[in-house]
């Protein structure tokens, strides 16, 4: 009988320990990002719109160190990002967020294209400054009831001439 009692106590202890570990380990991994190596979590990824203007063939090199020209799909949901106000273009009422109504070049994820179709046009994969080719630019709307072009909520897209200097959307590596 003593052997059975000791076995039940040991079993109950293991169940209690498993329960405690389950509670303690529940939060492990939540909110942690690792960009490689043993670097600590850095919070939401940053993005910004350059303060300077660039022709399309300069867009790939327009971003600061530790940033790259953003693919639209990297910045599509700005609620998961943090605008870098130290590097980015700002308007008087921007606060800590991005400026409204200001277009910037953005990567499309498509083949080299100079068509007039926002979403696929990319100034021949950002190598052309042709006055006849087009690239895709996006901006957050300035007016909330009217839009100036096709809406990809919350963004507005437009085709712009590759020779037209625009700002560039950048996102943290």
Q: Please compute the mean of the pLDDT values over residues 13-38 and round it to a whole number.
A: 43
Structure tokens belonging to residue 55 = 């022709």
Residues in Cβ contact with 107 at an 8 Å cutoff, skipping those fewer than 6 apart: 69, 70, 71, 72, 122, 126
| Percentages of the chain per state (helix, strand, coil), in multiples of 5 | 25, 25, 55
Question: Which residue ranges make up each domain of the chain?
Answer: 45-172
Task: Classify domain 45-172 at the CATH topology level.
Answer: Mannose-Binding Protein A; Chain A (3.10.100)
Residues in Cβ contact with 94 at an 8 Å cutoff, skipping those fewer than 6 apart: 83, 85
Express each pLDDT in 50-95 by its tens digit. 999 999 999 999 999 999 999 999 999 999 999 999 999 999 999 9
């Amino acid at each position: 009988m003593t052997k059975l009692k000791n076995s039940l106590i040991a079993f109950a202890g293991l169940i209690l320990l498993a329960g405690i570990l389950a509670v303690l380990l529940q939060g492990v991994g939540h909110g942690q990002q690792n960009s490689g190596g043993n670097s600590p979590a850095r919070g939401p990824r940053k993005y910004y719109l350059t303060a300077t203007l660039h022709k399309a063939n300069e867009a790939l090199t327009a971003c600061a160190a530790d940033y790259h020209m953003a693919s639209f799909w990297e910045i599509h949901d700005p609620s998961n990002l943090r605008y870098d106000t130290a590097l980015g273009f700002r308007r008087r009422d921007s606060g800590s967020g991005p400026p409204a109504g200001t277009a910037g070049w953005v990567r499309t994820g498509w083949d080299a294209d100079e068509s007039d179709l926002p979403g696929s046009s990319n100034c021949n994969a950002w190598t052309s400054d042709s006055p006849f080719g087009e690239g895709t630019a996006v901006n957050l709307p300035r007016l909330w009831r009217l839009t100036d072009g096709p809406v990809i909520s919350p963004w507005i897209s437009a085709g712009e001439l590759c020779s037209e200097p625009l700002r560039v959307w950048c996102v943290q590596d």
